[in-house]
Structures are given as structure tokens and as C-alpha cells.
Structure 1
Amino acid sequence: MTSARIPCSTREMKAAIEAVPISERWQTETVYEMLAETAASRGEARALSFQIRSGPKDRAETLTWAELGAQVTRAANLFRALGAGPEDGIAYLLPNSNETVYTLLGGVTAGVVCPINPLLEVGQIASILRETGARILVTLAPFPKSDVAEKAHAAAMFAPELQTILEVDLKRYLSPPLSWLIPVMRPRLDIRHGKRVANLNEEMAKQPGDRLTFAETGGADRVAANFHTGGTTGMPKIARHRQRGMVYNGKVATMDVIRPDDVLICPLPLFHVLGAYPILMSCVAAGAHLVLPTPAGYRGEGVLDNFWALVERWRVSFMVMVPTAATALLQREVKHDISSLRYAICGSAPLPVELFRRFERTCGVKILEGYGMTEATCLVSINPPEGERKIGSVGLPIPYTHVRILDCQQDGEVNRECGTDEIGEICIGNPAVFPGYREEARNFGLFTRPGHLLRTGDMGRLDADGYLWITGRLKDLIIRGGHNIDPGLIEEALMGHSAVAFVGAIGQPDAVAGELPCAYVELRDDASITEAELLDYAREHIPERAAVPKHLEIVDELPKTAVGKVFKPALRKRAIHRVYAGALADAGVDASVEVVEDKTRGLVVRAGGPGGREAVARVLGELPLPWEHAG
């Protein structure tokens, strides 16, 4: 086996790595094998730390790799003892905690783990439990200021295959006097589903931690996870993940990037692929130390205010963030020693160029922007830690990942391959690409013919150096801070109003979230209603708050295609013009704005006028789309 670590800093170095077959890089087939290897070699080193409160001196629970290995073993043994087989669903509806890690890794080992976003509505949670055939659900015990337990037990009523609910009581992380108050403040639930309910830690303690009580079967090709995608709105799709993809995400990230002595702080949720795979699995593969600050991560009380103090406390070398977190952190002065910090890994949405530069300049940390998706078991490309980083690109495809820019028909038939810097659909192949959604009907046209490459639905280009640039989306999803919102949900709700004839919902650019939902409405003849009244109607009828439009505008007539379909590219240009012109006006900068189509960059903003180039750059550099000065 070849174990030499080669820095992936140029296309040539990537080719050098790939000259060695992946089968010779590692023989590890399963996540549990990867964990066992690390527990054996790094047994007494710190593996996992969780603190329920955000203060730099607040109590934390830390496990060594030997201890984490034992806890994951107990969890896997428990799930099997409760009747879950290798093809049965083991769901978790949890914020971050050490138990979330036990459940994720133990669920992958014993069956098919199914992470569920606790922010989803009860109907969506129940739908995922049914679709994945979950037999076990791990969730929170009733806890003050949390509705997770309430949602879990309500959803369980509509999940006939669910047999057992295992609860995690966060009280154990608290010290007196707070821990004394929990029994008094704990919400009381009216449980009617008839499922067995038990305490996760108490049940795990009954299981051996030194060995699995069953033999792993299926190896690298076994589907061991079902992650929902499609975001926080609508009924999500279920993406199936194989063990080989999880191991690949861990092993590739350790190729001279993440080292055993590294400390990663991850305030992102472990129900999302970014936290679960490139971050957690790379720690498992490298034997690095993972720190989870509060159950809610960046949304946790005091986390942003205490973030730099936490970096100092844990001597963090890698931080993980999204653009919204970067914006918030720049508003906090760096008063602590963060000299240990080497890199900030950023994903989920494009990072505005000016924000990128300000963050690096202010915090003295190198940002590595990446690109991934649930269907690829996450990571596809990342700006290299060494060598050239092209700001605005999402870097080079990671080792053993191949990206092609193609022109495809709806059924996946490839018309042709696009040339250098020519925009087309991003199609990818690597060991982690998923085998498809659980619902077969959703797999039509998902892979190319020929080649069986995954069609991402994202539009982009490859430059002459092999760097990948995202220019737009073939699909119309609105991506708000990393959450996917189906515009059809907004359109369907607004179309329910008797005054509405047509609706076009799109994502408008936003400096913090990347995109925010926006709706343009054409009224029926002789109808009379105000935009404020329609917004009130939207708030009442759209089931997810994140999908409620931040801007709603009534227009005389929506642009339409020859067959009467709303032409959304024209709406996007209109929204971009409004947002960019408004930002300049709000800043007191006198400049004209034009939105044009560029063959290599997609939609580009041109701005210029008496305000001057420097003033325009200061304002537009905060926004996500490419722009240029009109001269």
C-alpha cells in the first residue's frame, strides 16, 4: 500500500497522485474499519470534544480515539440488538453532541443511518421516516427551549415501521445549579404513538465496547446512509450513500491537508453532508481532533461572540464556515491568540470576493473554498492549500475526481463536450458518486449516456488550468445560506390566491445568504390586491419560513416563452439589477447598472458613473455575482 502524502496544489500534482491506483492508496472498505485503525494507532489522542455552552471556560466532554471507538461499537451493537439489520433505517433527529457522532458512525456500521434536519416540519420528518423505513429513531429527550422531542414524537405517529425511540438527555452535559433546574423546566409531552422509548446512553452501556457482536457485510458497496436533500422546503429526496464514498471523503482529505495533530472546529450540523463527511470522516481517517461547540453550532447562544476565544482554547488549526458565518465573524474583533489557525474551509454558497479578501486580511487565515453536493457524498473540488488559489473559483477537482463540462439532453444523452472556458453542465465521476435516489422516478436523466457521470444540474466552466468555476444552475433551486428551496413551493402557494394569474419565483443575490427567495406576480384581469397583502398571504400559506419571499413585486405581465412558461432568466436579470442598483443607491454611490450575459462567467453586473471605480468596488464587492466597471 502506498502511504506517501502528496500535496494537491496543482493539476500536475493531482495527476501524480492519480498515477497510483486508488486501490493501492488504501484497502479500507468500511467506516468502522477506518475508525478501528485510528483507534488502534491514536488511542490516547483526543478525538472528540463537545461543550453544551459556548464560553471558553465552560465544561466540555472530551473522548480519546479509544473511547470514541468503544462508544461507536456500543451504539452499533445496540442498534443490531434492537432488530436493525444491514438494510434497515436508523434515523437521528439531533443537534450536535457526542451522541450524534456515536449514532452517525454506529448507524453506518449496523444499518443505514438516516440523518434528519431538526428544523424540518413534522410532516416532512414523518415522510423521511416512512421513506427510509426507519426502525429506530435517536432524538433529544424533552429539553427546555427545544421542540425537537415534540416533533420527533409527533412524527413517530405517522411512521408505522418505527419501533424504538432512543433519547439523548442533554442534562448530563450541565453542572449545578443549571442541571438542578432541568427536571423542573423540562417540557411534558403527550405521547400517543405506542413506540418503545428508552435512554440512548443507558442502553449503550449494556453493550460490549471492545468488539462488534455481528459481522459487517457488504463491504465498500453497501448503502449505509440515506441523506435527504432538496432542502428545508417540500418533501425531500433521499440520496443513498455507500461506504466507499464515506471512506473516500475521509482518506482524500488527509492527503497532506489534515494531519493527526490538527484540531477542527465544526459549528455546522452533522445532519448535513459537509459536517458528516469531509469534516468528520477526515478526522476519523487522520486521527485529528474534532470540536463541536454547542448543539446548535453557529446558531448557538454566544458561539459567534466567543468563537475566537474557542479557537484559542482548543488551539484550532482548521475552522469550517459558510458565508453567513464569515460575515458575522468579521463583526467580532479578534482579541485572542488564533495563531494556531491555518485554514478556513468554506462551502455551501459562493463567498463574495470582497468578503473573501476582508476575512483573510482581518483574521490572517487562508480560506479554502470548495464545492460539493449530497449526490456526490459531498466533496468534488476545493481550492488547493498550496499553490494558486483562484478567488471566485471552487478550485481543482480533488484526487480521483473527474469533472467534465457537457451539453446534455434531458434524458442524459450527451450532445457534446464543452471547450475550455465554455459554460455547460458540470458532470462528475468519482468513487463517492451515489447510486441514485431511493425513489426511482427521480433518477431519470440523472446520469450521462454514455459515461454514467453524475449530472449536477449546476452550470460552470473549466479554465485552462483545470480550475472549476460555477456560473449558475440548470435547475431553478434557490440556495439560501446552503439550504435548498424549491421555487415551485412558493409559486404553488401564491397561485392559490384568486387574484393571481402567474408567479415566477427565483433567488435574488444577497451578501449574507448568497440568495434570498423573490417572487414576481402577474394578476388576473381586473383583480385588485396590494403587494403587502400578497406577502401576508405568502406567510400564511408557505409552510417553511425560509421560503417566504423577501421581495414580492406585482408586474403588468411576466416574461414568458413561446409556450407560455414564465421565462426566469429575464426575472433574474431584473432582480439582480434591482439589488445591485439599490445597494449603490443606499451607499450614496452615483452609478448606472447593467446586467449582461458573459460566455465564461454567466450573468455579470456592469456598473460605472460619477461615483468612481473605488466607491463602486467597495459596495459591489460585498455581493456574490461577478461585476466589472463600465469605465
Structure 2
Amino acid sequence: MSIFASKDDITAINNAMPYADRDRPATMYAFMKDVKDRFGSRPAISYQIFSGPKDAAETLTWDEFFARSVQAANLFRSLGVGEKDAVAFVLPNCNETAATVIGGMIAGIVNPVNPLLDATQIGAILRETKAKVVVTLKAFPKTDVAQKTAEAVALAPNVEHVIEVDLLRYVTGVKKMIIPLIRPKNPVTHNAKVHQWDAAVGAQNTTLDFADSEGDRVAAYFHTGGTTGMPKVAQHRYSGMIYNGWIGDTLLFTEEDNVICPLPMFHVFAVHVIMMAMISSGAHVVFPTPQGYRGDGVFDNFWKLIERWQITFVITVPTAISALMQRPVDADISSIKTAFSGSSPLPLELFKKFEGATGVNIVEGYGLTEATCLVSCNPVGGLKKVGSVGLPLPYTDVKILMDTADGPKEMGVDEIGEVCVDNHGVYAGNTYTEAEKNQNLYHFDTYLRTGDLGRIDEDGYLWITGRAKDLIIRGGHNIDPAEIEEALAGHDAVAMVGAIGQPAAHSGELPCAYVELVQGASVSVDELMEYAKANIHERAAFPKYIEVLDELPKTAVGKVFKPDLRKSAITRIYDKALSDAGLAVRVAEVQDNKKQGLLAMLTPVEGVSDAQVTDVLGSFTRPWQWAD
């Protein structure tokens, strides 16, 4: 590990040798074997189904994790999975999920699927990836994952085998006796053959039964979040995943680190940023509860879990930080070196609260599914510019480009344009499984157009100022506004819809919708809310606010002009927050600021201080300042 403090440190790493000359394994099997050979008896991965600091947990050493992953790979290959075939999983976090991730990559192409999606969306992903095998839960109390997956498999006739993981083995005491009595039924209508994980995997050899891949290839499919209909599925190669691991090993972790990661293993953050870095460095990762941060009692017990596992690195997101700051630090957390936050911008005041309560610095980073995740992060040992996403990582080239009539133009210092990325995680020309979705996705053939707007400052730090693709980011979860717009547009009274993300103190953004009605039509907001809930697939995409306007703001060609809607939402949310706090200050206007994006301008009121306003608005990501 080499802690970096500045852009010069990144440059020194880049100049030391080309990345291709660095000694890295070429396949996932070789990657896992390397860490097993170096750190076999050390802890690799720990999991506890309940969140209590004294609850039962299972820890696998690198020898054991390697063996289970190889057994999983052997099973998948025995079921007909070749290097170009997909092994999908619809699972919460557990050690079987981790073995499926690695085993799937060794045998074929692993395809993580968000278990919070509905059955029709899961089925669409299984069809798009042509998955032969699906690993999911055996029916279990308080979750419908098994039932949804069974329904989804019935919609995907390409699935030949379903493997069920029973979480009962993690349960102890009276609960272990009760669960079989209350286990829900799961009648299936699909034709896939059903296997039980423990028996099927346990029957396999712990040495590889087939020849490893000869080199780099696609080994993972990750679907993008918040899609409607047919999802976009990103392709990830061994080289991109191992690059992510090398970054974590080089800049952050050693085999002595204990990392807590309450994030889902269907997401690139947990798999590529964390798990790959664990494999490269030999560090130990802890996954608490099936649902991570969403699990019962995780926030209440979080600091005690830090003490139990002697955690050195906390992996988190802004929504989780906000929730943690509502709990007292009630344990010894002196083992923590750093917290790493990603997925969405971190408000300055939340950063200050966390640092003040814990004495721990937060490092913010940036990545995206299409780039096999990592792009930049703030330096661990140097200047952290809160609100920025830090410095581009080694062997990563970030350009800020703007489309012009003469082609893409590179922007200057602090000039806003589209963030475009070229690194070893970008599979140029083949980012998505569907060729047509790769059209117009690159500049200069190799620079991935992220859809994010941003700027690079004079010190080389990257700042994200908006989203060209209009995605709503709710607590790090991407929601396509088209899902909300298409659902509401189906109402007979609705002529046009504009969905955006309104500011939210804890989630960064929450979906809201502005509606224009058909001439002469009438409908209440409550009716529209009920209609939206009945027609939107994903609960996270349900609008928190709907407003009916006489006419939506539109461009010259009749498209909804969303910047005006965002300004309206910022004004509404900020005015209400200030009013609720008893402050007479109001938003005079929301400006497009060159460096800061949308900026709320407040009319000064005698007796109201900067500190009072900051205390109210500091939890939101959109900045404010006094109007002249």
C-alpha cells in the first residue's frame, strides 16, 4: 500500500512503469489463488445474519473462501455454464453470495441482480443476459426474494437451473427451530431444475475441474439501476475488475485491515471496489446482515460492530452517514483509520458532523457501473476537498469535454462539461451487451461519456456539478426519470410529465414530478399519487411530491425544460426547511453558477446569521449564498 497525498503522487505511480508491465494475475482464478497462496490462514470474509455485536458470525479464511469459490465454479460448469454463459444471482448478502460472485466469474459470467426489483424487471434481465443458472434464496420468513425469483424465472425460459441458498444455517437457538415451522410456501411454475446449494456445492471438488481461462475476457454483467422495460447491461472484463483491486491494494488496504461493508453485493461498489481490493491486498471484509445498512438494527449497533471486528476502514454512503449521525457513538471506535464514501455527493455539514463525532476523516470517491466503477477519490494522506470526488486514480485519464459543431472540445480549468473517462475499467466499444446502446457513448473512441457534468479545478480535483442524463440519485440508487414519466403519462388526464430529483437532506435526492393536464381535464394530486404507485415498478421511484402546473416549461422543440423544474424544487424545499426552522429567510432565485451548478440565492434578513442558515441547509447538496 502506498498512501497518496497529491496529484504528484499519482503522476509518480503512472511514470514508474506502464500498467501493463505491473505483475498482475490475468484471470479471476489466478487472482484468488494468488491471495490464497499469500494469506491462506488469514481471515478473508465474515458474515453475520443478525446485527448484534455478540450475534453468531461465520468467518472464512482465504483458504476456505478460495475452496468454496472453486466448488461453486465446478458446480456451475457441471450445469453447462461455459465462459460465455451467465450465472445470475438474486440474493441478499451472505457468504454464499460472495462464493457465487467469484465462482461465477471463474466458470462463466456472473450476473448480479438487485433483489429489490420486481419479478418482471428481474425476468427482463435474465432474458437479456441469457442466464443459464440462477442462484437465489430458499423461501425464508420476512422476504419475498424466493417467490419473486420463481416468478421471474417463469418469464425467462433460458434459465435451466435454479440453486437455492438456505439462510437457516446462519440462525441459532430458538429461531432455528421456529423458522422451519413458519417458512413460507413457494409454488413454482417454471421448468428449471431446482438444486439446494449446500448439497450441490458440497459435492464438488475444491480443486478446479476444468482448465482456467487463457486470459482476459468478459466475466461479469451488471445492470444499471432504475431502468424501465429492457435494462442496460454493462460488461466487465477480468482486467477491469483486477485493476479496481490493484487500486485498492496500492492506495488503501493491507492484509492487516478489517473493512466493514454494509453494501449489497449486487452493486459494483461492494464487488469491484471492495471485494476486488480485498483479494488483491489480503484484507478482511465484514458484511453485516443480509440487507447491509437496511438490515434490522444495523444503524443502532453499528459502532459496537466496529469495536467487535476492530474495523479500520468504514465503507459507506451519504444516506448511511446521515442515519449514523442520529445515533450516539457508544463504543470504542479508535481502530478506524478512514471512512470511504461514494455513490452520491456528501454535504459539507454532514462531513463536519461525522468528523466531529468520530474523529475520522471521510474520503469521497467517484465511479460508475459502465467504467467497472473506480475513477477518482480524495487522497487519504493529503488535502480532501469536501464536495469534490478527488483526484483521478492511477492510469485513469479524465477529460471534461463539450460537444460542438466541430466535435468534442476539451474544457479549461473550472469550466463545466461532460465527464469522460478512459482507464482499464472502460470496455471501449462494448460497454453494454446491446451494440446499439454503445452508439455515441465515446469520444475519441476510448473516452466513455459518463453523462455526468463536472469540472476539474487548478489542483486537478474533479467536481461533479450535475447529470447530463437527468438520472435521479436517491441515496446512491439511480432512478431513471423516464420510469416515473411513462407511468404518469398513462393517466387519461395527463398530457405531459417532467420528473426530477428534488433536494433531500438524508437521501441527496427524492423523485418528484410536475404534471401538465389534458385541456379541460381534472384530477387531484392524491389520485395521481395512487396512480403512480400502481404503475411504477420500483418502490424507490415513487414520487414524493407531485405538482400540477398550467403548463410545463418547454424548450423550442417542445421538450420539458427540466432546469426550470429543478430550480422550482430547490426553492420549494429550501423555503419550507427555512420556514420550519423559524427563519424568515427565503430563496430569491436559483442561479446557474459556472463552478457550483444550481446555486440558491437567499434574500438577507436582519438578525439571521450564516450559521443559522447553514444549520438548516447544510444537509442538502445544492449550495446557497446571500443575494446582493
Alignment TM-score > 0.5, same fold: yes
Query: Following TM superposition, by how much is the alpha carbon of 1:233 offset from its aligned partner in structure 2, in angstroms?
Result: 5.1
Pairing 1:605–2:605 present = no
Q: Secondary structure at the match of 1:404?
A: strand
| Pair 1:282-2:277 in alignment | yes
Residue 373 (structure 1) aligned with residue 391 (structure 2): no
Which residue matches 1:498?
492
- 1:49 is aligned to 46
| Contact in 1 for aligned 2:510/2:543 (Cα 8 Å) | yes
- In the TM superposition, what whole-angstrom CA distance separates every residue of 1:461-496 from its partner, at most 9, and x where no partner exists? 000110000000111111111111111121122122
2:473 and 2:509 in contact (8 A); partners too = yes
Match of 1:592 in 2: 586
In the alignment, which residue of structure 1 is the partner of 2:556? 562
| Pair 1:232–1:53, CA change in 2 (3 A) | farther
Identity of aligned residues (%): 52
Which residue is 1:79 aligned to?
76
Q: CA deviation at 1:146?
A: 1.1
Q: Deviations over 1:366-414 (max 9, x none)?
A: 101111100010111111101100011000011111100001269xx84
* Aligned residue in 1 for 2:345: 350
Q: For residue 67 of structure 1, what is the amino acid of its counterpart?
A: E
Q: 1:198 aligns with which of 187, 195, 200?
A: 195
> Is 1:326 the equivalent of 2:321?
yes
CA distance in 2, matches of 1:100, 1:242: 20
Within 5 Å, give how 1:417-456 maps onto structure 2. Answer: 417-434=410-427, 435-448=430-443, 450-456=444-450
Distance 1:58 1:158, change over 3 A: same
| Distance in 2 of aligned mates of 1:145 and 1:278 | 30
Give the C-alpha shift of residue 25 in structure 1.
Answer: 2.4
Check whether the contact 1:478–1:487 (CA below 8 A) recurs between aligned residues. Answer: yes
Query: Residue 12 in 1 paired to residue 19 in 2?
Result: no
Match of 2:211 among 200, 204, 215: 215
1:120 and 1:150 map into 2 onto residues whose CA distance is: 12
Letter in 1 for 2:5: S
SS at match of 2:514: strand
Given candidates 290, 293, 296, the residue that maps to 2:291 is: 296
Q: Letter of the aligned partner of 2:307 in structure 1?
A: E
Residue 183 of structure 1 pairs with residue 180 of structure 2 = yes
Is 1:241–2:265 an aligned residue pair?
no
1: CA distance, partners of 2:248 / 2:34:
17
Partners of 2:4 and 2:433 lie apart in 1 by 34
Check if 1:89 corresponds to 2:82.
Answer: no
SS for the counterpart of 1:219 is: coil
Contact 1:233 1:547 in 2 (8 A): no
Structure 1 position 69 matched with structure 2 position 66: yes
1:302 is displaced (CA, Å) by: 0.8
1:172 is aligned to 2:172: no
CA drift of 1:232 comes to 6.1
Judged with a 3 Å threshold, the aligned counterparts in structure 2 of structure 1 residues 533 and 256 are, in CA distance, closer, same or farther, namely closer
Q: Structure 2: which 5+ residue stretches go unaligned?
A: none
How far did 1:606 drift?
Answer: 1.9
Structure 1: distance between partners of 2:471 and 2:622: 17
Q: State the distance in 1 between where 2:96 and 2:138 align.
A: 12
1:134 match: secondary structure: coil
- Alignment partners' CA distance in 1, 2:474 and 2:44: 32
Q: Deviations over 1:420-477 (max 9, x none)?
A: 00000000000011331111121111011x2420000000000011000000011111
Alignment check: 8 A CA contact 2:128 2:230 kept: no
2:222 corresponding residue in structure 1 = 227
Q: Which position in structure 2 is the counterpart of 1:105?
A: 102
Q: Following TM superposition, by how much is the alpha carbon of 1:169 offset from its aligned partner in structure 2, in angstroms?
A: 0.5
Greater mean deviation of Cα atoms: 523-532 or 298-307: 523-532
Cα offset, 1:234, TM superposition:
4.6
Change (3 A) 1:543 1:231: closer
Q: Secondary structure, in 3 states, of the residue corresponding to 2:412?
A: coil
Is 1:540 aligned with 2:501?
no
Specify the code of the residue in structure 1 equivalent to 2:597: G
Amino acid at match of 1:506: I
The one-letter amino acid paired with 1:148 is: V
Choose the corresponding residue for 2:355, options 340, 344, 360: 360
Q: Distance in 1 between matches of 2:40 and 2:227?
A: 38
Moved more, 528-537 or 305-314: 528-537
Tell me, in whole angstroms, the C-alpha distance in 2 between the residues paired with 1:329 and 1:592.
30
Amino acid at match of 1:393: S
Shift of 1:218: 4.4
Q: Mind listing any 5+ residue stretches in structure 1 that lack a counterpart?
A: none
Code of the residue aligned with 1:421 in structure 2: it is: D
List per-residue Cα deviations over 1:493-532 (Å, max 9, x = no partner). Answer: 2122222222111111111111111111112222222222
Distance in 2, Cα, partners of 1:193 & 1:268: 31
Q: Distance in 2 between matches of 1:203 and 1:415?
A: 53
Secondary structure at the residue paired with 1:255?
A: helix
Match in the other structure for 2:143: 146
Q: What CA deviation, in whole Å up to 9, does each residue of 1:151-190 have, x standing for no partner?
A: 1111111212211111110001111221111211111111
CA shift, 1:339, in A, is 0.3
Question: Is the contact between residue 509 and residue 516 of structure 1 (CA under 8 Å) also seen in structure 2?
Answer: yes
Counterpart amino acid of residue 382 in structure 1: C
Residue deviations 1:558-612 (CA, integer Å, cap 9, x gap): 1111111111111111111111111111111121312111112211112232322
- Residues in 2 aligned to 1:130 and 1:218: alpha-carbon distance in whole angstroms: 28
SS at match of 1:44: coil
Q: State the Cα distance separating 1:262 from its structure 2 match.
A: 0.2
Q: Provide the C-alpha distance between the structure 2 equivalents of 1:601 and 1:386, rounded to a whole number of angstroms.
A: 26
Provide the C-alpha distance between the structure 2 equivalents of 1:196 and 1:554, rounded to a whole number of angstroms.
50
Q: Does the CA-based 8 Å contact 1:6-1:13 persist in structure 2?
A: no
User: What is the one-letter code of the residue matched to 1:215?
Assistant: A
Are 2:269 and 1:269 aligned? no
Instruction: Show the counterpart of 1:472.
Output: 466
* 1:399 maps to 2:394: yes
Moved more, 111-120 or 495-504: 495-504
3-state SS, counterpart of residue 132 of structure 2: strand
Aligned residues of 1:6 and 1:17 also touching (Cα < 8 A): no
Other-structure match for 1:526: 520
- Secondary structure of residue in 2 paired with 1:583: helix
Contact map agreement 2:27 2:213 (CA 8 A) in 1: no
Instruction: For residue 230 of structure 1, report the CA deviation from its aligned partner.
Output: 3.3
What do residues 108-152 of structure 1 show as CA deviations (whole Å, max 9, x unaligned)? 010000000000110111111111111111111111111111111
CA positional deviation for 1:630: 3.2
Q: In 1, Cα distance between the equivalents of 2:432 and 2:574?
A: 38
Q: Are 1:553 and 2:550 an aligned pair?
A: no
Q: Is the 1:224–1:242 contact (alpha carbons within 8 Å) kept by the matching residues of 2?
A: yes
Give the aligned CA root-mean-square deviation in angstroms: 1.4
Cα distance in 1, alignment partners of residues 24 and 333 from structure 2: 37
Q: Does 1:581 align with 2:575?
A: yes
SS in 2 for 1:476: coil
Instruction: Give secondary structure in 2 for the equivalent of 1:74.
Output: helix
Kindly indicate whether residue 617 of structure 2 is the aligned counterpart of residue 620 of structure 1: yes
Asked if 2 retains the 8 angstrom alpha-carbon contact of 1:233 and 1:484, the reply is no
Instruction: Label 1:364 to 1:545 Cα distance change in 2 as closer, same or farther (>3 A).
Output: same
Q: Is the 8 A contact 2:484 2:499 kept in 1?
A: yes
Q: What one-letter code is carried by the residue in structure 1 that aligns with 2:372?
A: T
Give the letter aligned to residue 342 of structure 1: K
Change (3 A) 1:377 1:147: same
